[in-house]
Amino acid sequence: MASPQQPVKEYLAALQKGEGEEALGLLRAKIPSSNPAMLDGTALQTAVSKMSDVKVGNPEARGSNRMAVPVDYSLDGSRLHTEFLMERTGTQWLFFAKWAFVPTTLPTIEVTVVNASEATLNGVPVNMPNGRNNFAVLFPGKYEASLNGTYFEAPAASALVSTRDGGQAPLNLQTRSTAAMNEAVAGKVREFLDSCAAQATEQQRLQPDCPFYHASNARVVDGTIKWEITEYPKITIEPFGGKWVVAPLDGKATLTAREIDLFTGFVNDLNVEHDFSFTTQLDVSGDAVTVTPMLTF
């Protein structure tokens, strides 16, 4: 403890071991009003797992009884610099100075996630009330958040924290639907359209209770009407107003039939493709996905 550098070295070693209590004791840091999930164990070890080439520099005077210890290091490929402010707190063995960190306030990371109440931060599941939470963090360190759900996910986003002055780093997750979610919705949409086309064919209706219809002045021969979906809608799911919505669904349906021209009496083969569009209401509860078509007539 006779050198201002010694407590810094011990502090960095505590970070690498994931010993948050020891690191906090050495740092003499105040924990702000925030979530403490990143201050110990796996989350803390992960924060410094990509720190390398650490060089603790020579102390530099910062006024009476204070010294600054510079530390240069690489963190996930970025070359960074942190300065630790130390103060003399007495002597030991009569001659040797005792040094300790000047008390400070821990920095924080504010994590936000679109339309989700949970996320993963440095490998640890964390709650995100109303899509937001604030985490106290030790420094230096890398903090990476992501969301890996069955139906919704967010690509990893990270922040490098090197400051000692109680600052705040934003970390925003952009949630999107997963391939499994898109396929689940697409399957329900296909099921609805296929059922609608089959029912329209069975009921021999040109204007069924479906997103598609056909208008004609000719008389159609009974038993010849057949509807078929020839292009299914592409699924796009987006956040809106705190919910998830499916973008308007566009597709194509083909009608085949035999019709009689009322003026000439000729019987013609009818084969026509109609564009259609409709909207849906999406509800997700746990593993259950409900898609409700919203049709207007």
Contact 49, 32 (CB under 8 A): no
pLDDT digits (tens, 9 = 90+) for 126-139: 999 999 999 999 99
pTM (two decimals): 0.83
As a whole number, the mean pLDDT across the chain is 93
Q: Which of 145, 175, 205 is the last residue of a domain?
A: 175
CA distance linking residue 48 with residue 211, whole number of Å: 56
Tokens of 285: 């509860």
Q: Which of 157, 175, 193 is the last residue of a domain?
A: 175
Q: Which of 124, 152, 175 is the last residue of a domain?
A: 175
Instruction: Tell me, yes or no, whether 220 and 141 share the same domain.
Output: no
Instruction: Tell me, yes or no, whether 158 and 193 share the same domain.
Output: no
Enumerate residues 6+ apart whose C-beta is below 8 A from 71.
Answer: 8, 12, 54, 55, 56, 57, 81, 82, 83, 84, 140
Instruction: Tell me, yes or no, whether 59 and 170 share the same domain.
Output: yes
Residue 233: asked if its preceding bond is cis (omega within 30°), the reply is no
Instruction: Tell me, yes or no, whether 113 and 225 share the same domain.
Output: no
Instruction: Tell me, yes or no, whether 141 and 20 share the same domain.
Output: yes
Over residues 185-212, mean pLDDT? 96
pLDDT digits (tens, 9 = 90+) for 121-167: 999 999 999 999 999 999 999 999 999 999 999 999 999 999 876 67
Residue 87 φ/ψ, nearest 5 degrees: -135, 150
Domain total for the chain?
Answer: 2
Instruction: Tell me, yes or no, whether 170 and 187 share the same domain.
Output: no
pLDDT of residue 94: 57
Least Cα distance to 252 among 232, 237, 270 occurs for 232
Least Cα distance to 122 among 159, 172, 81, 74 occurs for 159
Over residues 245-257, mean pLDDT? 97
Instruction: Tell me, yes or no, whether 15 and 155 share the same domain.
Output: yes
Instruction: Tell me, yes or no, whether 216 and 116 share the same domain.
Output: no
Instruction: Tell me, yes or no, whether 24 and 139 share the same domain.
Output: yes
CA distance linking residue 160 with residue 49, whole number of Å: 12
Instruction: Tell me, yes or no, whether 212 and 147 share the same domain.
Output: no
CA distance linking residue 260 with residue 2, whole number of Å: 105
Positive/negative CA dihedral, 14, 16, 20, 24: positive
Residue 64 belongs to domain spanning: 4-175
Q: Count CB-CB contacts under 10 A for residue 174.
A: 13
